[in-house]
Chains A and B, each alone.
Chain A
């Protein structure tokens, strides 16, 4: 018989390192993820991309690790060394066979305590990051449009800044600034170690103590919570680029789990993507793609686990034979207005809820997802120990909660629209 998920276990070292374990014995593997509570939204103006650049330089040498040794050694023991940066976090995840767990723990601890880098690798990695930006943003018209859209929607919030960094900022970035970013933020009391897999708490705790306990904690600078601008009005822009398909990016400034007035409010918002966009039975997809065919495709996103105010976004490709992007946006917004006025039907709510709850089960298929869920809670300013209450919390969300959330946040003054059009059709 299938097992229910194990209870999330937790301890904190004297130096402030928070450690969480989701024990899962289905396979002899463990996912270890070190989440530093620092990301693009912590960066000062003019230094965008700093957290991500540092991520590239964490394994260029430390007291026990030669430059590049981390990558090679982790591959040899069956891991896939990688790292990623978000608006709120810099993350070093690794999944390894259970009997190898101590090696990455020791390596990650050593890097936390003593990682440093020379000028040559710094210059090389800065060039590589510029190439990464060129490939993933500058040479990708949709990604460039989304970058411009998020900047407009977030206004003066630090979330307006792209994780990869602006090109001009990256070109100005120095090794000294990057080193000092590590000195400022990479301390045990600013990190969460999220672990999922085939290991017991006692064994994990002994290893974590052995390698992390001697690292001193440090005072952290105050990190302001990203908030939306106090006064907001409807914002629109048009992005024209060769290769861009006709479309609409529409976002609303909304609270996250961390800034919502109640858990119900945030959970009601978290049902919106399934209610409106995801799956062929979702309301907007059914009406606008299936019945009226004014849209050709769409997706919705709500970044609920953000430490500050966030966005609810709808991205849609429009059907040129059925009207303009402007007409499609009006039609979209009119439907959101109906949701705000009358709420979803009971069947719609049940469908969205069933999908979210089923995905919680499906998510357990991959222990790396389980560890990531813990990290996302932690860097999103929430207590991971509360994450297992979500299933119960979702069951308590009512039609009224969704209607209220829609009415409160899917408003014109909270709205940002970016019209997408291919450059060739600009003069049509």
Chain B
């Protein structure tokens, strides 16, 4: 590899970078207040008076893995929350909330459904915005016209995503790796499920899954602790009570596989995934976060060097960890010309295998730590990012000191510890490999230019 400026030998000619000390500790002292309210909702709150605004995030354990016999129930319930609430029609509702300048968003994932509200903190805006938001989450009317409309929207979206290669490639990994398990329906719906679901099903699902003690609340903004307690109390008391999602069944035994989805396109979208049975709150997660950074994050990562910088095969290749409650996976994704599908797969496989065997070098680890420091500093400086981090801490059940200890704990890890975590949790022989795109006669990799070796 060329061009890698090793952190412990920064021989730069920049005058302002002379004598740069890079191992100084980076302090994060964002204070998180947390409590469980009377209805059982867990609250995480950061008081932040710099801007006249408030970010609220509600994370219900009401993701698509809670779907019963009807794949799509969780998504349709979430998407119908703003189709009319507490006697107000969807339009009336939206006009009132939007006339306050407030922003409302919702998203459905495998394990969670998330709703966010962003509003100005002036009382004459905040109070009515929160009242509307509470109605929306707690008192949906689920009118039949709304369900019919949202079903058509969801079917249209499904059809689009089904043919979109990046989504399709990821979906194939989940389908294969988690066959027969709730994680094995990554789209979160099926045409049959959507067709069968009625407004009664939505009401029944809402009555359970939107219970206060199935909820993690994040709150960041221009509020006192007293305000925060009052707001969250009002919200959770309005919700259904007394239901919590059961733990999911254990994962099926994984098996390796090679899947090709033939479809027209200008290239192939690729995925290589390894099962990773590490719960989201396990200590080994930090080792794996560092490892992933070295292997597949940023321009200097091993994968980016091998595929993009040395060979110009792709614009972007990255890897990611997806820790789920009862397991998880590690996945590399890239895009490549159809004639290099096999060769690029082989190169990625070899790069991952070598990395699992060797682990990172000390220099790579230090660089990875620095590469994770910047985003964390930027995240804790923004209310919206903080609200999202609090939500993540909630659903991963991470302790309140997670943000302040994150960087020091990463810094303390040694190359050996990271290598051991890699070898204990990832096995290249279990890889699921997917390509989505047109087939072509395969070519060997182009030679690496002399100066890139």
Contacts and interface: CB of A to CB of B under 8 A. Distances in A.
Interface in A30-81: 63-69, 71-73, 75-81
Interface stretch (B8-16, B191-199, B237-245, B389-397): B8-16
B253 interface: no
A338 interface: no
A365 interface: yes
Nearest to B119: A358
B371 interface: yes
Contact of B378 (A73, A95, A110, A347): A95
Contacts, number: 222
B5 A69 contact: yes
A78 B101 contact: no
Interface in B118-160: 118-121, 149, 152-153, 156-157, 159-160
B408 interface: no
Interface string B295-311: 00011100000001100
A281 B94 contact: yes
Contacts of B26: 78
B14 A75 contact: no
Interface residues of B, number: 83
B102 A351 contact: no
A65 B120 contact: no
B322 to A, nearest CB: 22
Nearest to A207: B16
A227 to B, nearest CB: 33
A315 to B, nearest CB: 13
Residue among A76, A136, A293 facing the most chain B CB atoms (10 A cut-off) = A76
A290 B313 contact: no
A425 to B, nearest CB: 11
A75 B378 CA distance: 13
A296 B335 contact: no
B98 A279 contact: yes
Contacts of B98: 279-282, 351, 354-355
A426 to B, nearest CB: 13
B91 A286 contact: yes
Given A281-B94, A359-B101, A131 B314 contact: yes
B370 interface: yes
Nearest to A321: B152
A105 B15 CA distance: 11
Interface stretch (B70-78, B204-212, B262-270): B262-270
Nearest to B11: A66
A368 B383 CA distance: 14
A293 B309 contact: no
A75 B263 contact: no
B300 A71 contact: yes
Interface in B298-354: 298-300, 308-309, 312-316, 335, 337
A65 B17 CA distance: 11
Given A1-B49, A139-B165, A361-B52, A367 B13 contact: no
A106 B378 contact: no
Interface string B1-40: 0111101001011111100101000100000000000000
Given A245-B159, A361-B51, A351 B95 contact: yes
A2 B90 contact: no
Contact of A106 (B15, B164, B266): B15
Nearest to A319: B152
Interface in A315-339: 317, 319, 321
A138 interface: yes
A242 interface: yes
B17 A103 contact: yes
Nearest to A297: B153
B172 interface: no
Contact of B120 (A129, A286, A358): A358
Contact of A124 (B7, B93, B101, B312): B312
B90 A138 contact: no
Contacts of B452: 120, 124
Contacts of A107: 14
A317 B308 contact: no
Contact of B99 (A123, A136, A139, A347): A347
B167 to A, nearest CB: 11
26 contacts: A1-B49, A3-B50, A26-B381, A27-B377, A29-B378, A65-B13, A72-B300, A76-B5, A78-B26, A81-B299, A128-B315, A131-B308, A131-B335, A134-B267, A134-B315, A135-B335, A136-B315, A139-B266, A242-B163, A245-B156, A245-B160, A317-B156, A350-B99, A354-B99, A355-B101, A365-B383
Interface of B: 2-5, 7, 10, 12-17, 20, 22, 26, 49-53, 82, 90-91, 93-95, 97-103, 118-121, 149, 152-153, 156-157, 159-160, 163-165, 222, 263-267, 269, 298-300, 308-309, 312-316, 335, 337, 367, 370-371, 373-375, 377-378, 380-384, 437, 449, 451-452
